[in-house]
């Protein structure tokens, strides 16, 4: 049965100097409105013990526009400003539901520069997008087509630290499930091998079922170090420092893009080939507290790997099984079921009392699959 989902399609675009200036002004106004509304909400709760609703914040925005100090807010589209208030409302809803921390102020230097436009503030026709109060259509590089008959509900324009402009188009998409395969596989995440599979998949893993970890950050570590040292030598506020910062940001963007592309290819292949996928529920945040492994774990990006498996399994009609993090997958013999007393990380191969010789990671992947199937 086909699945209809809201899906965001992200594309690069190249604004004209005039468009870039207008969008930068919009980003600044969005940030100002968000911070001003957050300040008012915090003040009202601290001094008066009351909560400010979205309707009150929206009325306050109208009042701000009428003042001489903030009259410049009228120069940009009102929709991104209203959307900033909605995002703040959602942030507070998550905070009161204990799903997130208290909202923080947006920084000009560190926060993501973006503006969200709803249908009343943009036009999409014949492959062209025009935004309210922005002259001319955006020069979008359509790297892939939108779904047939797509009617975008929101358009989000953003600029990353590397100076690249993106437009994210949210629309309805119909995804058809893949044909059932009847295959099941277990995954064990690691550092030397990014993932170890309970059985090898041709073109994805080697004959032992291991998918090599590209270590994208480690491969560019020297270039990163040089760029960071060059940035540290530049005078704060200078044009050369701005250039050095941009060079460093581009290196990080390159690493992130390559890592994301690799994870997409691996997870798509795994989901296509298997009807059931079993993984371990790793506490990545706790593992990151180990300063000897934190950098390697961050480079492996286990959290993003799991996220991709979760939504792709849902999209394509696959079943994702999650095994408890305390399950002794490495110490349990997949042949006889005996649990070894200890299993230090430096032990990569071990022999069970039954005589079976195990590769630590392959054995763990097999146990994860068995445990996942047993808990269905």
The Cα 71–Cα 258 span in angstroms is 44
CA distance 232 to 226: 10
* Whether the Cβ atoms of residue 33 and residue 60 lie closer than 8 Å to each other: no
Q: Is 361 a catalytic residue?
A: yes
Distance CA 42, CA 30 (A): 18
Bridge partner list, 280 = 323
Whether 324 is catalytic: no
Report the C-alpha dihedral over residues 283, 288, 290, 296, rounded to 10 degrees: 110
Q: What is the DSSP string of 56-91?
A: HHHHHHHHHHTSSTTGGGGGS-HHHHHHHHHHHHHH
Residues ≥6 apart with Cβ < 8 Å to 122: 129, 130, 131, 132, 152, 155
User: What six digits make up the tokens of 319?
Assistant: 């079943």
Q: Among residues 22, 188, 273, 299, which one is catalytic?
A: 188
The residue annotated as part of the active site, out of 22, 217, 273, 361, is 361
Residue 299 is among the residues annotated as catalytic for this protein: no
Q: Which entry of 116, 217, 273, 280 is annotated as an active-site residue? A: 280
Q: How far apart are CA 130 and CA 53, in angstroms?
A: 32
The residues assigned a catalytic role are 188, 280, 361
């Amino acid at each position: 049965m086909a699945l209809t989902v809201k899906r965001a399609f992200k594309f690069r675009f190249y604004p004209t100097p005039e468009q870039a200036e207008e969008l930068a002004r919009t980003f600044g106004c969005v940030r100002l409105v968000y911070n001003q509304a957050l300040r008012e909400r915090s003040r009202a709760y601290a001094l008066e013990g009351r909560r400010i609703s979205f309707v009150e914040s929206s009325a306050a925005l109208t009042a701000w526009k009428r003042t001489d100090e903030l009259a410049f807010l009228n120069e940009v589209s009102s929709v991104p400003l209203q959307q900033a208030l909605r995002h703040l409302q959602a942030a507070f809803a998550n905070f009161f539901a204990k799903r997130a921390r208290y909202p923080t102020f947006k920084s000009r230097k560190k926060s993501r520069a973006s503006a969200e436009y709803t249908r009343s503030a943009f036009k999409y026709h014949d492959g062209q997008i025009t935004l309210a109060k922005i002259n001319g259509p955006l020069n979008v590089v359509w790297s892939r087509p939108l779904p047939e008959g797509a009617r975008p509900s929101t358009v989000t324009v953003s600029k990353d630290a590397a100076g690249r402009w993106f437009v994210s188009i949210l629309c309805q998409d119909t995804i058809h499930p893949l044909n059932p395969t009847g295959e099941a596989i277990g995954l064990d995440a690691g550092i030397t091998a990014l993932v170890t599979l309970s059985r090898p998949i041709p073109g994805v893993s080697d004959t032992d079922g291991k998918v090599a970890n590209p270590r994208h950050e480690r491969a560019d570590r020297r270039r990163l170090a040089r760029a960071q040292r060059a940035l540290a030598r530049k005078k704060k506020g200078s044009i050369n420092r701005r250039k050095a910062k941009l060079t460093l940001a581009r290196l990080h963007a390159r690493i992130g893009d390559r890592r994301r592309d690799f994870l997409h290819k691996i997870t798509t292949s795994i989901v296509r080939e298997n009807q059931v996928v079993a993984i371990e529920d790793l506490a990545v945040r706790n593992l990151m507290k180990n300063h000897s492994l934190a950098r390697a774990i961050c480079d492996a990006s286990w959290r993003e790997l799991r996220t991709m498996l979760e939504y792709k399994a849902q999209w394509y009609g696959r079943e994702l099984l999650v095994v408890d993090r305390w399950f002794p997958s490495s110490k349990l013999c997949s042949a006889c079921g005996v649990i070894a007393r200890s299993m230090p990380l430096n032990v990569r191969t071990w022999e069970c009392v039954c005589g079976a010789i195990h590769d630590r990671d392959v054995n763990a992947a097999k146990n994860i699959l068995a445990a996942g199937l047993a808990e269905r």
